[in-house]
Structure 1
Amino acid sequence: MKNRKPPIVKVMSFNIAHGSGMDGILNLERTAAVIEDSCASIIALQEVDRFFGERSLFLDQVEWLGERLGMFTAYGANIEYEAENPDMPNHQYGNAILSKYPIAYSKNHHMTPVQQWYGNDEQRGVLEAVIEIDDMAISVYNAHLSLKDEELKLSVKEILALTQKSKFPTIVMGDFNAPPFYAPIQEMNCHFTDAFLKMKQGDAYTYPAPHSYSTSDVELKPVTRIDYIFFGPEMEVAQTAAILTDASDHLPIVADLVLARTKQNKPNHKQHSKVKA
């Protein structure tokens, strides 16, 4: 019997700004269309609301996107407020993972905040998921990290400690809020491969998303790269791209990753339910 070819998985990282575009209009269908058109099968989303407030019409964006795209979902709330009405669900804001493949396990990890005299950042987090692909499993980590240097450094150390515990090939994606020359990003590069650097696309800027102002000739263009897809040694990258869209203030990024077939013990966790469109 011939050995089967290693699977190729298209992954995406996308800070969706709770579905609000560069035009200031909330349009989650536009967000979903960008994801759908990318043909990505594993998607890491940041800034996702669940019943958060009027800005997102108190919608459960995770459930809505899962149903709209016909994908398995996992969610990690990094900010949560109790609803004034005890019959209503809590207001949540955090990270989500969508997958065409079954999600066998997920866990949200809050990053340790760093107290600073000029004020504290919002609670940051990394959502971990184990995803089953055919007869294999991979670990996916979705990060939304701090703008503050000391907290960012600590968060990267905590991410590396988490990933070292994984028994499966690992992908780390997300909004790191730091350009490639920052020391914490360099530290990530010591342990993982930056998909865009590997494909010689280090200039694939992701922030801010392009937008033309109707009142002038000024055009806003991406000037920095703060969104990343990192992968471990059991994988290779075949293709990368930053997708031009004004559906958010960040450009989504995608990578085609080739997974080497390795002998694994399958995860023994209860699978997440799949929602169908």
Structure 2
Amino acid sequence: MVLIASYNIRKAIAADRRRRPERIMEVLGEIGADVVILQEADRRFGERHSALPAHLLAEHGYQAVPYEMRHGSIGWHGNAVLIGPHVAIERQQPLHLPTLEPRGAVLADLVVPGGRLRVVGMHLDLSGLWRRRQARSILDDLQAQPYWLPTLLAGDLNEWSRGGCLRDFGLHHRPLALGPSFHARRPIGRLDRMFVSNGIIVEECGVHRSPLASIASDHLPVWARIRIE
């Protein structure tokens, strides 16, 4: 069994508008996921260094998948993948997306308890037109991979409708019924999504709600407990 979480951490800026990365790590500690897919993991200005210091990741037993696209960053355009001690990295790849503003996605092939798993993390555009183009680009990249693996896609899709890019991802992947995760204090928007391919059994899934999660970011984390067939 593998526990996967996805979390838009808002550059670790808490409800009091101060950067508090320790709160993000405490929320991740509440969840205890084997793999964490992050959005907005880099600071917004300057050299765009990681919003989560390396020592905090290590103290909580996490390692960032090394995309090495920008010095001081743990991902690509704010998208990052953290793994726990029972997960190994087999291969990783940044994905370039069509966009008018800086956007990207990340792919990681992992060895997890029970098998091998491909994860894709993303944070899509505010524009519906560009979201669909980005979704199709990600799906094309998956088709172009040198080998197939059971795949979980997750992230902040910025999709308020029931169609759009959800329809694109849903053509060959099953959407998970996670519930609303935005805004963290009074969640009404189902912006944070997960999809899985064949080869993955979803045992349970949902939104992580706690007093700390309601103030650590403007999104709540979503999670899924899965098994590789």
Same fold (TM over 0.5): yes
TM-score by length of 2: 0.86
Give the 3 Å change call, closer, same or farther, for CA 77–94 of structure 1 in structure 2. Answer: farther
**Contact 2:77 / 2:105 at 8 angstroms: preserved in 1?**
no
What is the number of residues matched between the two proteins? 219
SS in 2 for 1:173: strand
Residue 190 of structure 1 deviates from its aligned partner by: 1.6
Per-residue CA deviation, residues 14-71 of structure 1 (Å, 9 max, x unaligned), is 00011111221211011001011101111000101269549x9x66626244313222
Residue 182 of structure 1 deviates from its aligned partner by: 2.6
The residue type equivalent to 2:37 in the other structure is: A
Q: Which residues of structure 1 form unaligned runs of 5+?
A: 1-7, 81-88, 114-119, 211-220, 261-277
**Contact 2:42 / 2:50 at 8 angstroms: preserved in 1?**
yes
For residue 145 of structure 1, what is the aligned residue in structure 2?
Answer: 124
Residue 208 of structure 1 deviates from its aligned partner by: 1.1
Larger Rg: 1 or 2? Answer: 1
Q: 1:222 aligns with which of 177, 187, 195?
A: 187
C-alpha distance in 2 between matches for 1:179 and 1:77? 32
For residue 108 of structure 1, what is the aligned residue in structure 2?
Answer: 94
Give the 3 Å change call, closer, same or farther, for CA 66–93 of structure 1 in structure 2. Answer: same
Aligned pairs (5 A) from 1:30-109: 30-49=23-42, 52-53=45-46, 61=52, 63-74=54-65, 76=67, 89=71, 93-100=77-84, 101-109=87-95
Could you say what the CA RMSD is over the residues aligned between the two structures, in angstroms? 2.5
**Contact 1:75 / 1:95 at 8 angstroms: preserved in 2?**
no
**Contact 2:11 / 2:44 at 8 angstroms: preserved in 1?**
no
Residue 227 of structure 1 deviates from its aligned partner by: 0.6
Per-residue CA deviation, residues 122-177 of structure 1 (Å, 9 max, x unaligned), is 21111010111257321110001101111111101011112223521101010111
Aligned pairs (5 A) from 1:1-277: 8-49=1-42, 52-53=45-46, 61=52, 63-74=54-65, 76=67, 89=71, 93-100=77-84, 101-113=87-99, 120=100, 122-134=101-113, 136-164=115-143, 165=145, 166-179=147-160, 181-196=162-177, 201=178, 204-210=179-185, 221-244=186-209, 245=213, 246-260=215-229
**Contact 1:13 / 1:173 at 8 angstroms: preserved in 2?**
yes
C-alpha distance in 1 between matches for 2:33 and 2:20? 20
Give the 3 Å change call, closer, same or farther, for CA 148–51 of structure 1 in structure 2. Answer: closer
